[in-house]
Amino acid sequence: MSFNILVTGGAGYLGSVLVPELLKAGHKVTVIDNFMFSQNPLMDCCYSDSFDVVRGDARDESLLRALCKGKDIIIPLAALVGAPMCDRDKIGAKTTNFDAIKSLISFLSKEQRIVVPTTNSGYGIGQKDVHCTEESPLKPISLYGKMKVESEKLILDRGNGISLRLATVFGASPRMRLDLLVNDFTYRAVNDRFVVIFEGHFKRNYIHIRDVAKAFLHSIDNFDSMKNEAYNVGLSDANISKLELCAKIKEQISDFVIIEESIGKDPDKRDYIVSNEKIESTGFKPGFSLEIGIKELKKTYTIINNSKYSNV
């Protein structure tokens, strides 16, 4: 079944992978994005009569209200993502990650559906060897986690929505991010050949960007049976620590040197393992392992580098 879909922030790290997949699946897609990162994702979608794009701000209520008319599904991706970015712009984090969601649901009809990405960082610090499920208490530590937890509650209380609690995402995207943990550590392994790790025992879960897009498509295709619920989305065999992640990278980049020190602290204190059984029970299965993602990223960093402000 084909739907008319609005994606806010659709030119970002996730959107620039998801939007082409939505078009491929036969949906009509409108994207609103402010293109704040000065990159050029989605250009390969412009050929399609099923694709439209608007340069604008997802916090602009009058613009968003107009764009939502006639849309079957809203996918609100527009956000300041990650603890460091939200701490740097606390006002922007609140207005984008929470206020814009509150505004959005105030003028949507009950029939319009929402599929929203949130984060499993809402679990905060878990119990040792105990998997966090969707019924586990939410104890977000960072401003980012708190805003995402609050926006998820708004959407699920409204009804006719699905929340995907994403693990730490990795993998290549047309709007690439180097700050995500797997992407960052692999970049350091390829370019610096070493990394200094602090709080190396902290664990979290991981998921490939293309499997995140797959989870959105799965949610759209199975909306009636999945609606009004939150779902953890991650690799069930990738509840691992920073040091274990580095060991996996070293398997493919043998001269990668890992130095563990106690000199720093993680700005996002989360430390937990996660169960993804709930979404797996609906028939969803990820297709990209950490090993595949690291191999992909090695090739990606042959193409791009982060030398904008360096001399060479």
CATH for 152: 3.40.50.720
- Which pLDDT tens digit goes with each residue over 5-47? 999 999 999 999 999 999 999 999 999 999 987 778 999 999 9
Q: Is the pLDDT of residue 271 over 70?
A: yes
Q: Is the pLDDT of residue 127 over 90?
A: no
Indicate whether 194 belongs to any domain: yes
Please calculate the CA angle 190-214-249 and round it to the nearest 5 degrees.
Answer: 20
Of 239, 249, 258, the residue nearest 128 (C-alpha):
239
Indicate whether 113 belongs to any domain: yes
> 99 CB contacts (<8 Å, ≥6 apart)?
59
Q: Do 110 and 155 form a contact (C-beta atoms < 8 A)?
A: no
Q: Do 200 and 163 form a contact (C-beta atoms < 8 A)?
A: no
Q: Is the pTM of this model over 0.75?
A: yes
3-state helix, strand, coil in the chain (%, to 5): 40, 20, 40
Indicate whether 257 belongs to any domain: yes
Given its phi and psi angles, is residue 35 left (phi above 0), alpha (psi -120 to 50 degrees) or beta?
Answer: left
Indicate whether 312 belongs to any domain: no
Q: What is the mean pLDDT of the chain?
A: 93
Indicate whether 209 belongs to any domain: yes
- Which pLDDT tens digit goes with each residue over 287-300? 999 999 999 999 99
Indicate whether 73 belongs to any domain: yes
- Which pLDDT tens digit goes with each residue over 140-184? 888 988 999 999 999 999 999 999 999 999 999 999 999 999 999
- Which pLDDT tens digit goes with each residue over 255-270? 999 999 877 666 656 7
User: Encoding tokens for residue 225?
Assistant: 């049976």
80-84, 105-109, 203-207, 278-282: segment of lowest average pLDDT: 80-84
- Which pLDDT tens digit goes with each residue over 209-236? 999 999 999 999 999 999 999 999 999 9
The boundaries of the domain holding residue 191 are 1-304
> 44 CB contacts (<8 Å, ≥6 apart)?
20
Give how many domains the chain has, as a whole number: 1
Q: Do 82 and 179 form a contact (C-beta atoms < 8 A)?
A: yes
